[in-house]
Amino acid sequence: MHVSRQLTSLRILRLVGCPPPSHDGHSGPVPADRESPMTRSETSPSRAQHPSPTQKPNTCCFCWCCCCSCSCLTVRSEDDKRGRRKAQETKLEPFPWETCPKPTMEEIKQWAQSFDKLMKNPGGRNKFREFLRTEYSEENMLFWLACEDLKNEINKSAIEEKARLIYEDYISILSPKEVSLDSRVREVINRRMQDPTPHIFEDAQLQIYTLMHRDSYPRFLNSSVYRSLVQGGSRSSSES
């Protein structure tokens, strides 16, 4: 009977949140000097939440190093890209604009009659090249002119050097100025590069000539470049 009453009292104390009495009869909170070291460490918020003045903050050095490394790699990557772009720029000397007298009105009209007449005239080539530059396809004319220059070369070492530069500038797929050629023509050029001749690019030159004739020439005749030539020539004829 006495044991049953004690069990009932313990249940009531647990329900209301009061600590059960200790073996020595003390029913209140345990004095601090009698707490175990583990209990004191668990119930001491000041020691658990606030580090000592001598404790250093836990900085995430690994993340900082990773971010720094990524930034350095990004900068290095951009520098490498700029270096490659500089290396991919034209290997040939810039082809100069051809020196020629001012075209007459008769010549300007002949350029509209035939693409061959336009390309045979230095002034016509200059104006057509000026138009191609506005369409970002000037490399077609530059390649054609470089091939014409190579045909006039007779020195073997000069032929080999010019052929190599033309290949790197206009044939190589790594060049930003690569011209549009089919695979058959490219294969022929690759075979002939072992022993280049002044006419090594003859097939490629014809293909680019045909491309300019079919694609760019009609737009040139309708462009402001050609219309201004016609208008300027007409005014000169009327004044004279």
**Residue 46 lies inside a defined structural domain of this protein:** no
Which residues fall within 8 angstroms of residue 177, CB to CB, at 6 or more apart? 90, 139, 142, 169, 170
Token duo for residue 161 = 């050097």
For residue 232, the model assigns a pLDDT of 82
For residue 22, the model assigns a pLDDT of 52
Query: What residue numbers bound the domain in which 155 lies?
Result: 105-239
Total count of domains within the chain? 1
**Residue 54 lies inside a defined structural domain of this protein:** no
- Residue 135 is given by DSSP the state T
Q: Which residue has the higher pLDDT, 13 or 192?
A: 192
Q: In which band, very low, low, confident or very high, does the pLDDT at 2 lie, cut at 50, 70 and 90?
A: low
**Residue 30 lies inside a defined structural domain of this protein:** no
Mean pLDDT of 14-41: 51
Q: Is the whole model's pTM more than 0.85, yes or no? A: no
**Residue 204 lies inside a defined structural domain of this protein:** yes
Residue 46 has pLDDT above 80, yes or no: no
Residue 87 has pLDDT above 50, yes or no: no
**Residue 116 lies inside a defined structural domain of this protein:** yes
**Residue 195 lies inside a defined structural domain of this protein:** yes
d(CA 227, CA 94): 28
For residue 71, the model assigns a pLDDT of 47
H helix intervals, the chain: 2-16, 37-42, 45-49, 61-88, 105-113, 115-120, 122-134, 138-151, 156-166, 183-192, 202-211, 217-221, 224-239
- Write the pLDDT tens digit of every residue in 160-172: 999 999 999 999 9
For residue 31, the model assigns a pLDDT of 52
Supply angle C-alpha 135, 140, 141, rounded to 5. Answer: 95
CATH number, residue 116 = 1.10.167.10
Residue 150 has pLDDT above 90, yes or no: yes
Q: What is the mean pLDDT of the chain?
A: 77
Residue 141 has pLDDT above 50, yes or no: yes
Q: In which band, very low, low, confident or very high, does the pLDDT at 91 lie, cut at 50, 70 and 90?
A: low
Q: In which band, very low, low, confident or very high, does the pLDDT at 75 lie, cut at 50, 70 and 90?
A: very low
